[in-house]
Structure 1
Amino acid sequence: MSDTEHPDFADEAAYIHKAYARLDQSREAAKSITDNVESREGGTHQARYERDVLADKVRSRLEDLDIGDQSLIFGRIDQAEGDHFHIGRVAVFDEDRNPMVVDWRAPIAEPFYRATGRQTMGLSRRRHYITRYRELLGIEDEYFTGEGGERTGLKGERTLVAALEEGRTGRLGDIVGTIQGEQDEIIRAPLAGAVIVQGGPGTGKTVVALHRAAYLLYSHRFPLAGQGVMVIGPNRLFLTYIEQVLPSLGESGVELSVLGDFVPNARVRGNDPVHIARVKGDLRMIDVMRRAVRQRQRPLR
């Protein structure tokens, strides 16, 4: 059976088009509010302050809704009780404020990434969509019988292969539609404390860390957005490589920096003597650094 012969293909394609239409309407509504707010002048100090706050919030929402050429919907979960939810990049609601698309970071979306044959998390089916821009190309279904039969291989294999076969652009892209269970555990780990992601080159450490930043900004927006989130990279080339990931996930307010930004006038003037370099490279420095970080940690306000 070809992809377009799937019995639900036409209905799902129509649903995706309808969700995009609602996204466009929401974006136009936000833009209209922004234009209206920015056109106002004068008023009391309090009125101007409230106007600026509203304008900032609407502009932020407008940025969240601008997903460019990225796929809006990439999956669906069917619960054993009968409810189903479409999982996507940003939340979209219909005219009655019912969810058409659930944000991938919402708690209800977690089973899309975590459910297995042994731990179904209440699912009867998980569906992956293969899309290009706004067009549905294929559907891949996984069924959960609840009989304890563990599945082998990766979840959404065809979707993952399709993502890997996409042409490279020289920029790091998001993996929001193909996150695997082990990666999702890191992304959704509790906020408190430091999370260290270790792995060899090319294992996805950077992209998982960026998705974690997007998740934390969604689930802990009040403390984090007010105090700011910063991604520190080794050099400018690296920052250019990753700069599109967070905006594609609906987070555009994160600052990207290199260590040199903290001491802009400092220059390397020499090398450490051998005995000092040996101390700095000793594995025991890990404990020293761990204590230093712990002593300097402060709780979120």
Structure 2
Amino acid sequence: MSTEELREEQQFVSGLYARLDALREEAESTVQASLAQVGNGLQARLERDVMVAEQSGVLAALDAGENGLCFGRLEFRDGRDHRIGRIGIRASDTERTPLVIDWRAEVARPFYLATGHTPMGLRRRRHITTEGREVTALHDEILDLTDTTRTGHEAADADEVLLAALDSARTGRMHDIVQTIQAEQDRIIRAPHRGVLVVEGGPGTGKTVVALHRAAFLLYAHRELLAKRAVLVVGPNPAFLGYIGEVLPALGETGVLLATLGELFPGVTATGTDSAAAAEVKGRAGMADVLALALRDRQQLPEPGAPLIIEHDDGDLILDWEIAYEARAAAREADLPYNLARPTFAFHVIDALTHQLAERIGHDPYGGPNFLGPDDIAQLGKGVAVSAEVHAALEELWPTLTPERFVTEYLAEPAHLSAEDAAAIRRAPGAAWTPADVPLLDEAAELLGKDDSAARARAEAERQRSVAYAQGVLDVSYASRTYEFEDKDDEDAEVLLAHDIIDAERMAERQEEADHRSAAERAAADRTWAFGHIIVDEAQELSAMAWRLLMRRGGGRGARPARAPPPPPPPPTRR
């Protein structure tokens, strides 16, 4: 066996690690220098945070390359020579010459696909085995049978490297297979990004690890898209996620969210356990329609002949069945989620009560027109709209609901199910959430919608305050301008000041705080986040409701909230 070949590879690998250390030291120095900056302005903090975030990502990738930095070499018939590794590294020369090529690059594909029948231009393929930073073995495969040159490291068996990896000692963690990817695995890993890809196989055949390498490849090939939208990996339990948790970081990828189904509703951690019967009922596709019906039930009407009596300074207001029915019909006709339709219901009720009050106050006993003008009626309407008693009546008929409140109250009194199914899922309020509850919460959130009008109004008011403040600063800048450099014979100023180059709107925008969380961190906190790619392990175990949730996380159009049935017959004619 040639020791010269081994020595040559060791020399190259040692130089490669020296370059890795230099890059790591450079990134660490940049982080430390950024953290040491003393600027307290928003712009200085923004620049510092961006630099730290970028260099921290670089450090994570460099750390991932520590083990198995270079594991392959491709020698082409035309004289080209490429080293293959888990991350790409370039030299410090002006041409930034590639020293080792990332395994996901297209030029690295022959390392996994080339055969004696289809050599893909290769003369020789070399597998480099290392322990730490030491080269311990070389295995060469001759792909050009006309080449009689031998190194002494030719493998007796083409699968020798793969068998050695399979026979290696287990550590209790899932290993990456980047050095031993087979042709069939490579086709799965590099399959097109769009659409659904199902990987089938028996237990222990490597389905999960291939899927994780596919995630790493997609993050490499579609970096601009997936780095912004992140990748979601859904596992069956926390223990499994811990088991696979080191694979993607080892491949240089940290922009991935690993979660169980019970962790996919922000603010809720599912620690409870359902019976098999309860989980089965909750997971049925029909639960989407059941929840839609249950939510429709929450839109109440006063009993005919038993109106709600609302106290008012100018006499009681009567909220009867007819007023509520017409308001509810208008709200349902808007075809909006429950909480977003509620303002329509409230507007119609308030409008009806206002006219009721105006008719009472401005009534002409001699049959003439109402004494109140439009401005008077508008003022009465404002008083009705802010009445605590009116709001209490609205809350009774069309309560404001959160997904947590709605699902909790529904499970306490299940409806629209058989007696057996209702008994299976019934539970008292306060019980711990279960994984099967999370798809119900997600469905409820879609049905309810989120009325963020108040938050948007607050944000706009805050923006206007910031713009006004910025304008004040610019006004002070203008009033304090110097005339030292002013040329009386030249109308153009020689010195540009703040008010010359920026307006109040842009100045206010530049002072806004930026969100420096990673895409995965932001996705974990946002129920409406649409991931760029989703990997599901043990997909056959997911319920139909769980799939509805995941389709939304992928931005799928097939997971819209269920439709409730048509409205009931119209009300009887008023008397």
Question: TM-score normalized by structure 2?
Answer: 0.46
Against the structure 1 CA distance between its residues 146 and 158, is the aligned structure 2 distance closer, same or farther, given a 3 Å change threshold? Answer: closer
Q: What does the per-residue CA deviation read over 1:234-288, in whole Å, with 9 as the maximum and x for residues that have no partner? A: 0011011111101110112312110111253554444438x979x88xxxxx9x8
Matches within 5 A, 1:62-77: 62-67=59-64, 70-77=67-74
Q: Secondary structure at the match of 1:272?
A: helix
Corresponding position of 1:283? none
Q: Secondary structure at the match of 1:66?
A: helix
- Deviation, 1:59, is 0.6
Rounded to whole Å, the distance in 2 between the matches of 1:119 and 1:49 is 52
Rounded to whole Å, the distance in 2 between the matches of 1:58 and 1:101 is 21
- Deviation, 1:141, is 1.1
Q: Secondary structure at the match of 2:137?
A: strand
- Deviation, 1:178, is 0.6
Rounded to whole Å, the distance in 2 between the matches of 1:293 and 1:106 is 33
Corresponding position of 1:272? 277
Matched, 1:218 2:201: no
Does the 8 Å CA contact 1:128/1:156 hold for their aligned counterparts?
Answer: no
Corresponding position of 2:139? 140
Larger Rg: 2
Q: Secondary structure at the match of 1:198?
A: coil
Q: Secondary structure at the match of 1:74?
A: strand
Rounded to whole Å, the distance in 1 between the matches of 2:174 and 2:224 is 28
Which runs of 5 or more residues in structure 2 are unaligned? Answer: 147-154, 286-541, 557-575
- Deviation, 1:46, is 3.5
Matched, 1:197 2:454: no
2:160 corresponds to which letter in structure 1?
R
Q: What does the per-residue CA deviation read over 1:93-148, in whole Å, with 9 as the maximum and x for residues that have no partner? A: 2221211111101111111111112222221111111221111111111122278x
Rounded to whole Å, the distance in 2 between the matches of 1:293 and 1:6 is 58
Matches within 5 A, 1:94-173: 94-96=91-93, 97-145=96-144, 157-173=159-175
Matches within 5 A, 1:20-35: 20-35=17-32
Matches within 5 A, 1:182-261: 182-261=184-263
- Deviation, 1:41, is 2.9
- Deviation, 1:298, is 3.5
Q: Secondary structure at the match of 2:51?
A: helix
Matched, 1:93 2:350: no
Matched, 1:298 2:297: no
Does the 8 Å CA contact 2:65/2:251 hold for their aligned counterparts?
Answer: no
Count of residues paired in the alignment: 286
- Between 1:201-210 and 1:64-73, the stretch displaced more is 64-73
Q: Secondary structure at the match of 1:81?
A: coil
Does the 8 Å CA contact 2:70/2:84 hold for their aligned counterparts?
Answer: yes
Matched, 1:61 2:58: yes
Rounded to whole Å, the distance in 2 between the matches of 1:155 and 1:38 is 53
Corresponding position of 1:150? none
Rounded to whole Å, the distance in 2 between the matches of 1:35 and 1:294 is 40
Against the structure 1 CA distance between its residues 172 and 219, is the aligned structure 2 distance closer, same or farther, given a 3 Å change threshold? Answer: same
Rounded to whole Å, the distance in 2 between the matches of 1:130 and 1:83 is 22
Rounded to whole Å, the distance in 1 between the matches of 2:109 and 2:36 is 42
2:229 corresponds to which letter in structure 1?
Q
- Deviation, 1:187, is 0.5
Does the 8 Å CA contact 2:65/2:86 hold for their aligned counterparts?
Answer: no
Corresponding position of 1:177? 179
- Deviation, 1:232, is 0.8
Against the structure 1 CA distance between its residues 42 and 268, is the aligned structure 2 distance closer, same or farther, given a 3 Å change threshold? Answer: same
Rounded to whole Å, the distance in 2 between the matches of 1:98 and 1:69 is 20
Against the structure 1 CA distance between its residues 206 and 155, is the aligned structure 2 distance closer, same or farther, given a 3 Å change threshold? Answer: farther
Does the 8 Å CA contact 2:65/2:87 hold for their aligned counterparts?
Answer: no
Rounded to whole Å, the distance in 1 between the matches of 2:80 and 2:208 is 35
- Between 1:117-126 and 1:64-73, the stretch displaced more is 64-73
- Deviation, 1:225, is 1.2
Against the structure 1 CA distance between its residues 191 and 68, is the aligned structure 2 distance closer, same or farther, given a 3 Å change threshold? Answer: closer
- Between 1:112-121 and 1:192-201, the stretch displaced more is 112-121
Q: Secondary structure at the match of 1:8?
A: helix
Does the 8 Å CA contact 1:76/1:85 hold for their aligned counterparts?
Answer: yes
Higher strand share: 1
Against the structure 1 CA distance between its residues 265 and 47, is the aligned structure 2 distance closer, same or farther, given a 3 Å change threshold? Answer: closer
Against the structure 1 CA distance between its residues 292 and 19, is the aligned structure 2 distance closer, same or farther, given a 3 Å change threshold? Answer: same
Does the 8 Å CA contact 1:72/1:90 hold for their aligned counterparts?
Answer: yes
Rounded to whole Å, the distance in 2 between the matches of 1:154 and 1:220 is 38
Against the structure 1 CA distance between its residues 26 and 83, is the aligned structure 2 distance closer, same or farther, given a 3 Å change threshold? Answer: same
Matches within 5 A, 1:8-27: 8-27=5-24
Does the 8 Å CA contact 2:232/2:258 hold for their aligned counterparts?
Answer: yes
Rounded to whole Å, the distance in 2 between the matches of 1:19 and 1:41 is 36
- Between 1:182-191 and 1:88-97, the stretch displaced more is 88-97
1:55 corresponds to which letter in structure 2?
V
RMSD, aligned α-carbons: 3.1
Rounded to whole Å, the distance in 2 between the matches of 1:157 and 1:101 is 24
Q: What does the per-residue CA deviation read over 1:33-56, in whole Å, with 9 as the maximum and x for residues that have no partner? A: 111112113264334323322221
Corresponding position of 2:373? none
Does the 8 Å CA contact 2:129/2:138 hold for their aligned counterparts?
Answer: yes
Does the 8 Å CA contact 2:65/2:252 hold for their aligned counterparts?
Answer: no
Corresponding position of 1:51? 48
Q: Percent identity?
A: 45
Does the 8 Å CA contact 1:140/1:156 hold for their aligned counterparts?
Answer: no
Against the structure 1 CA distance between its residues 36 and 13, is the aligned structure 2 distance closer, same or farther, given a 3 Å change threshold? Answer: same
Corresponding position of 1:81? 78
Against the structure 1 CA distance between its residues 154 and 237, is the aligned structure 2 distance closer, same or farther, given a 3 Å change threshold? Answer: farther
Rounded to whole Å, the distance in 2 between the matches of 1:24 and 1:156 is 34
1:298 corresponds to which letter in structure 2?
G
- Deviation, 1:69, is 5.5
Rounded to whole Å, the distance in 2 between the matches of 1:67 and 1:268 is 37
Against the structure 1 CA distance between its residues 126 and 67, is the aligned structure 2 distance closer, same or farther, given a 3 Å change threshold? Answer: same
Rounded to whole Å, the distance in 2 between the matches of 1:155 and 1:187 is 25
Rounded to whole Å, the distance in 1 between the matches of 2:76 and 2:52 is 39
Against the structure 1 CA distance between its residues 45 and 154, is the aligned structure 2 distance closer, same or farther, given a 3 Å change threshold? Answer: farther
Q: Secondary structure at the match of 2:277?
A: coil
